[in-house]
Structures are given as structure tokens and as C-alpha cells.
């Protein structure tokens, strides 16, 4: 076990040394963000399989054996996650992430009761960073997590880069971890979500797909302005635009390097992106039948155009 401490002031390092004396504690000396700290931990590890587990996620009995099973069974997945629950295992936090073709991403199945929910899932759109398992060789081959994201969307970005390189993603539902999760973390969260959503799109979307989704992206921006105004986070949305413009030259350089690793066609990549905005976190948009029909039609046209 390796614990990376991003200069916390809550006694984390002392608690780890007391409760898990065999664990290695890495003191970063500053808050480097999720991606950078995770990469530090990976660099210090020696195992064949890396597991990134949030500090507020508690593995259930048998978790280690089950999370290792996809590697032991030779399933060929590039990365996978366990079934992440919440509220003491009563509801789902995520059974695998969903990525919409506009780059909006969320935890699939969030809030559903675990009892009676479908737990044999199709390939997820992305693997949750709360419980992210990946062979070391794969992790190193794509450069690990994006360090300049600081917080949010790193798991989406890494998953899509793995998919670009021909990798498949998975979920092992027998490996369970309970996540003390709360979506609301103040208006500042929206700046990072929007900033990094755009960074992920710019970095990972193949050029034919990027051109084809531009009208949808423009419409999404208009809709999000209204949502941000109503939700009180319009300044954060504007700040995310500013971040994106300042960082565009760097993002374009990163895009060139990432796209050189692509081994799948734009249509195949696009087929992994969803059409429905069916997350409980998206409010009225998730309930609108008209919007659902429009988005499904757009995605069908998108896939036909890209030859998927």
C-alpha cells in the first residue's frame, strides 16, 4: 500500500503510520492534484497491477482477489474498476462511467439501489478514478494521468486515451468498494469540470469526430450558460473558458502526441460515446423526451457519417 499525501493538515500521515505501518507514505509537500499525486504513487510502486483507490473508499472483504481477477483470467482489458457503492453498500455510486458525445461524463447507475440493479454491465464509457485498476505496462505506455487537470475528469481522459490505443475497458462487479461520496462541492467544482471536459475533448477526439460534433458542442455551451446562470456558477463557467483559451497551445501539442497513438477509427471511438443525458445529476435535461430524441438522431447521423 502506498499513500500519497498532498500536504494534508488533518493528520493523514500519522493515521496511516498508526493503522497501516507497512504502508509507504509519500509526502508531496504541496497539493499537486489528483493526477500528479497518483502518478507519484505509481512511480513508487513495483507491482504488475496498479490500483488507484480514493481515500474515502472502503473495500469490502475479498476485494483484492476480485479486483485482480481480470488480470489473472487474461481478459485483456486495458483498465477496469470494481462495483463502487455508497451509503454503506445500499446504493450504487458507479457501475462504470458514461461519456456523452458532447464530453459530459458521469457515474453510471448513481443512486440506484444495489439490490435488484443490473450488475453485469457492458463496457463502460470510462473507468472511475475512485477505484481504477490498470496493468502497469498499460499505464506507463499512455503516460499515466494528466497532471495539469489538477482535479476531475482525469479518469475520463485516461480511459479515452486507452480506448484510442485500442484498449478495452471493464467492470468486475464482484470487487466492491463503498465510497463516501457527495456530488456537491461548491461552485468551484464546475470550473474544473468544464475546463477539463474541454481539455479531454481537444486531447482525445479524433479530428473527423471533433469536426462532426462542433454544432452539438456549440449548442451545449449555449445551454450550459443558462444552466450556470440559474445555478449560480456562471463566473466559474466563464473562468473555465478563460482557462481553455490560455491553455489551448499546450492542449494542441498534447493532442498531436496523443493522436499519434491512435489505432482505432474515429467511428469505432465514437461508438463508445453515449447519446442519452440520463444522469440523475442533469435534472430536467435527463427527463426531456424531445432532447433525448434529438440527441439520439444526432448520434445516429454522427456514426453513419464516420462509418461506424
134: CATH: 3.90.550.10
Axis-axis angle for helices 154-164, 34-44 (nearest 10): 60
Containing structural domain, residue 14: 2-179
CA pair distance 176, 185, nearest whole angstrom? 25
Distance CA 249, CA 241 (A): 14
- pLDDT computed for residue 116 by the predictor: 62
Is 283 found in the same domain as 150?
Answer: no
The C-alpha cell that represents 65 in the structure block: 482477489
Q: How far is CA 137 from the centre of its chain?
A: 20
Same domain, residue pair 242 and 135:
no
- Are 192 and 175 in the same domain? no
Residue 55 has pLDDT above 60, yes or no: yes
Shared domain check, 138 and 231: no
Are 211 and 164 members of one domain?
no
Q: Is the predicted pLDDT of residue 120 greater than 60, yes or no?
A: no
The reply to whether 170 and 216 lie within a common domain is no
Region of poorest pLDDT, from 58-67, 106-115, 179-188: 179-188
- Look at residue 64 in the predicted model and tell me its pLDDT: 96
Do 132 and 274 lie in one domain? The reply is no
Cell numbers placing 109 = 447507475
Asked which of 39-53, 136-150, 182-196 is least confident by mean pLDDT, the reply is: 182-196
One-character DSSP codes across 255-294: HHHHHTT--S-HHHHHTTSB-----GGGTHHHH-HHHHHH
3-state class (DSSP) for residue 244: helix
- Please identify, among 137, 154, 179, the residue that sits at the C-terminal boundary of a domain: 179
Are residue 113 and residue 174 in the same domain, yes or no? Answer: yes
Domain end residue (candidates: 179, 208, 224): 179
- For the chain, the domain total comes to 2
Strands 2-5 and 24-27: parallel
> How high is the mean pLDDT of the chain?
93
The full length of the chain comes to: 308
Facing residues of 177 across strands? 59, 84
- Lowest-pLDDT choice from 124-138, 239-253, 268-282: 268-282
* Domain match, 205 and 230 both: yes
| Judgement on whether residues 220 and 118 belong to the same structural domain of the protein | no
What confidence category does residue 119 fall into, taking pLDDT thresholds of 50, 70 and 90?
A: low
pLDDT in tens, 268-305: 999 999 999 988 777 787 788 999 999 999 999 999 99
**198/167 same-domain check:** no
φ, ψ for residue 152 (rounded to 5)? 80, 140
Looking at 122, 150, 179, which one is the last position of a domain? 179
**Coil, strand or helix: which one is 7?**
coil
Q: Please answer whether residues 91 and 260 qualify as being in contact, where contact means their C-beta atoms are separated by less than 8 angstroms.
A: no
Q: How much is the average pLDDT of 177-206?
A: 91
| More reliable by pLDDT, 71 or 187 | 71
**Dist. CA 87–CA 111, nearest whole Å:** 10
The whole-number pLDDT of residue 190 equals 93
Same domain, 225 and 276: yes
| SS3 (DSSP) at 182 | coil
Q: pLDDT tens-digit profile of 154-170?
A: 999 999 999 999 999 99
Amino acid at each position: 500500500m502506498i499513500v500519497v499525501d498532498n500536504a494534508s493538515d488533518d493528520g493523514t500521515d500519522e493515521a496511516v503510520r498508526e493503522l497501516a505501518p507497512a504502508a509507504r507514505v509519500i509526502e508531496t509537500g504541496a497539493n499537486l492534484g489528483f493526477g500528479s499525486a497518483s502518478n507519484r504513487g505509481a512511480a513508487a510502486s513495483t507491482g504488475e497491477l496498479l490500483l488507484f483507490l480514493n481515500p474515502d473508499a472502503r473495500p469490502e472483504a475479498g476485494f483484492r482477489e476480485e479486483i485482480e481477477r481480470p488480470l489473472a483470467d487474461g481478459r485483456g482489458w486495458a483498465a477496469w474498476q470494481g462495483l463502487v457503492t455508497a451509503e454503506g453498500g445500499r446504493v450504487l455510486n458507479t457501475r462504470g462511467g458514461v461519456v456523452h458525445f458532447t464530453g459530459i461524463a458521469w457515474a453510471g447507475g448513481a443512486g440506484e439501489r444495489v439490490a435488484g440493479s443490473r450488475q453485469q454491465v457492458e463496457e463502460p464509457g470510462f473507468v472511475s478514478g475512485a477505484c481504477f485498476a490498470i496493468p502497469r505496462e498499460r499505464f506507463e505506455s499512455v503516460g499515466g494521468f494528466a497532471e495539469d487537470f489538477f482535479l476531475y475528469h482525469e479518469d475520463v481522459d485516461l480511459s479515452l486515451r486507452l480506448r484510442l490505443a485500442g484498449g478495452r475497458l471493464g467492470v468486475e462487479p464482484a470487487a466492491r468498494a463503498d465510497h463516501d461520496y457527495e456530488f456537491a462541492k461548491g461552485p468551484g467544482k464546475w470550473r474544473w469540470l468544464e475546463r477539463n471536459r474541454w481539455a479531454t475533448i481537444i486531447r482525445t477526439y479524433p479530428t473527423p469526430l471533433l469536426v462532426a460534433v462542433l454544432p452539438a458542442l456549440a449548442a451545449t455551451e449555449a445551454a450550459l450558460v443558462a444552466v450556470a446562470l440559474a445555478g449560480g456558477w456562471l463566473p466559474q463557467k466563464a473562468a473555465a473558458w478563460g482557462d481553455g483559451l490560455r491553455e489551448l497551445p499546450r492542449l494542441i501539442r498534447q493532442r498531436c502526441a496523443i493522436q499519434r497513438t491512435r489505432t482505432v477509427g474515429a467511428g469505432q471511438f465514437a461508438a463508445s460515446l453515449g447519446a442519452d443525458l440520463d444522469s440523475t445529476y442533469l435534472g430536467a435535461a435527463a427527463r426531456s423526451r424531445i432532447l433525448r430524441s434529438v440527441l439520439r438522431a444526432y448520434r445516429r447521423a454522427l456514426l453513419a457519417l464516420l462509418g461506424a
